[in-house]
Each structure stands twice: as structure tokens, then as C-alpha cells.
Amino acid sequence: METPLRESNLNPDPIEQFVRWYTEVEKQSVDMYDAMTLATADASGMPSARMVLLKGFDKDGFVFYTNYSSTKAQELEANPRACLVFYWKEVQRQVRIWGTVEKVSREESEAYFQTRPYDSQLGAWASHQSSIIPDRNVLEKRFEELTQKYPENKVPLPDFWGGYRVIPAVFEFWQGRPSRLHDRIKYTKKDETWEIVRLAP
């Protein structure tokens, strides 16, 4: 499906424009519509990118959850800026979002953690994400021990795990069009308003 991005029907607020596109891919059950690439960079400027899942968004930003000791967390500690990329193949759309990053409140992480399946809760405890482990057994043994330690519905939020919020400063919406004459619309936050420009594809 190809729907042109026209200046005449763009929402002046990029979050509202994102809501419009996100609602469409959600409704159409586009494959992994909630998966996004998260790009960070370390203190030397070396970039790093990986997939994470979008777990919530609103006017304040875009939230994902992870381990606060992971490589991405260390990079965000040194350089609290990130870029997110969504690609929705079925509708030929890409969205890029640049912004600054903050941890979400413990209350927010706690509320989200309690909605996760039991296995995922134990998985968060079991994995010291991004650290070197000697073999897979270590992980499975730890998981087994955790099932003894924490019964279902009684798994506390690990203090090394929680959410981050990307607070957007720039958005780019890309719509694939015939002859590679794609639409690209960029929103940049200027004070409290959003400046909108069209970019060559």
C-alpha cells in the first residue's frame, strides 16, 4: 500500500503523525510493527545499533526496557542521545527519531515489569545482559534457581533493569513511492514548535 505524504494532510505535530502511522500498522498487523532499531554511541563516538521493542509512547517520548548494565546502557550513561528507526515493509514506510534519553521512573518500570510474563520476569533477573558467560548452562541454571526463589506473581523488579525514554527533537517520515521518488518529511523542534521541511529522497 502506498499513501503519499502530502504537506496538505501532514499533522503539524510529529507525535500525532506517528500515532496515525502507528495505528495503521498496528491495525494491519504489520510484521513486528513494534520493533525498532536503537542506535547509540559511546564516549569516543563509536556507534552501535540493535533492535528493541517499543513499549509505550506519548507526547513525552518513546519508551523501551532493558538491562541498566548492558552495553547500550553504558553508552547511554556516557552519551544520553539516541536514534530510533522503524521500518514497516508492508506499507513501505520508515520513521527515524532522534532525541535525548532519560531513565523512566521506578514506578513506571515497576508497573510495566508486573505486566510481563513470568518467564520474561525471571529472564530479566537471570541475564546480566552483555556480560561474557562461559556457556549456556550458567544461564539455564540461574533461571532454574530463580524459579525456586521467586514464585509466580512474586517477582520483584530487579534494580538493574528498567525503561528508557527517548525524548524526540527530530523526526523523519519516509514513504516509498514509485521511481524512487520517495517522500521524506523532516520535523525539527524549534522552541515549542515543529519546523517541517521536505527532503530529496
Ligand X SMILES: Cc1cc2nc3c(=O)[nH]c(=O)nc-3n(C[C@H](O)[C@H](O)[C@H](O)COP(=O)(O)O)c2cc1C
Q: Which residues bind to ligand X, rule: CB under 6 A?
A: 35, 48, 50-53, 64-67, 70-72, 129-130
Name which of 50 and 89 has its Cβ closer to ligand X: 50
Other CB atoms within 10 A of residue 34 CB: 14
Q: Which CB atom, from 65 or from 194, has the smaller least distance to ligand X?
A: 65
Distance CA 18, CA 23 (A): 8
| Adjacent-strand bridge partners of 97 | 84, 171
CB of 24 to ligand X, least distance (A): 20
3 state DSSP class of 77: helix
Query: Based on CB atoms, which residue is closest to ligand X, 41 or 169?
Result: 41
**CB of 62 or CB of 64, closer to ligand X:** 64
Let me know: does 139 contact 124? Beta carbons within 8 Å.
Answer: no
Whether 180 is catalytic is: yes
Catalytic residue, chosen from 136, 165, 180, 198, is: 180
Please report how close the Cβ of residue 65 comes to ligand X at its closest, in angstroms: 6
Which residues, 6 or more positions from 180, have their beta carbon under 8 angstroms from its beta carbon? 201
196: enclosing H helix or E strand: strand 193-198
Which grid coordinates are listed for 107? 514506578
Q: How far is the CB of 184 from ligand X (least distance, A)?
A: 25
Nearest to 68 by CA among 159, 155, 132, 157: 159
- What is the nearest approach in angstroms of ligand X to the Cβ of residue 127? 9
Q: Provide the annotated active-site residues.
A: 180
